[in-house]
């Protein structure tokens, strides 16, 4: 029976056991998955590209939505215009804005997918 007061044996290994050899190149996907400094740079670049795209779409749609009331406020004949029995303001704000928002969303999705596809190609081809 072993002595209960003696310490347990522990296997000690070198922390550099998995160190790569000189001249060996690691793939970018490995850099990304292991969260190294280079992988962090790649991920930051991806997030910045997606953020720039989101801000461009948001500012475009937001500018349109904010600009319409400003247009109606600054140009009174636009408020008085009618298309048949319906005021033009109602048609523009209530109907015409939705296809524009849908188109902006569609553009955003396609561009975000392109950014991700380019990033994936970069990670797999290097």
Q: What is the pLDDT along the chain (126 residues), one digit of tens a residue?
A: 556 677 788 776 656 555 555 555 566 566 666 667 777 888 888 999 999 999 999 999 999 988 888 888 898 888 888 888 988 888 888 888 999 999 999 999 999 999 999 988 887 876
**pTM of the entire structure?**
0.64
**Inter-CA distances, 58 with 62, 75, 84, 126, Å:** 6, 25, 33, 33
């Amino acid at each position: 029976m072993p002595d209960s007061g003696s310490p347990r044996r522990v296997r000690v290994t070198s922390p550099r056991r998995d160190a790569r050899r000189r001249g060996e190149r690691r793939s970018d996907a490995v850099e990304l998955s292991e969260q190294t400094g280079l992988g962090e740079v790649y991920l930051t670049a991806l997030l910045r590209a997606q953020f720039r795209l989101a801000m461009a779409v948001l500012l475009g749609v937001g500018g349109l939505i904010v600009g319409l009331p400003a247009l109606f406020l600054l140009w009174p004949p636009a408020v008085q215009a009618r298309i048949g029995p319906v005021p033009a303001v109602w048609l523009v704000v209530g109907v015409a804005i939705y296809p524009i928002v849908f188109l902006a969303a569609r553009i955003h999705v396609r561009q975000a997918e392109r950014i991700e596809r380019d990033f994936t190609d970069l990670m797999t081809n290097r």
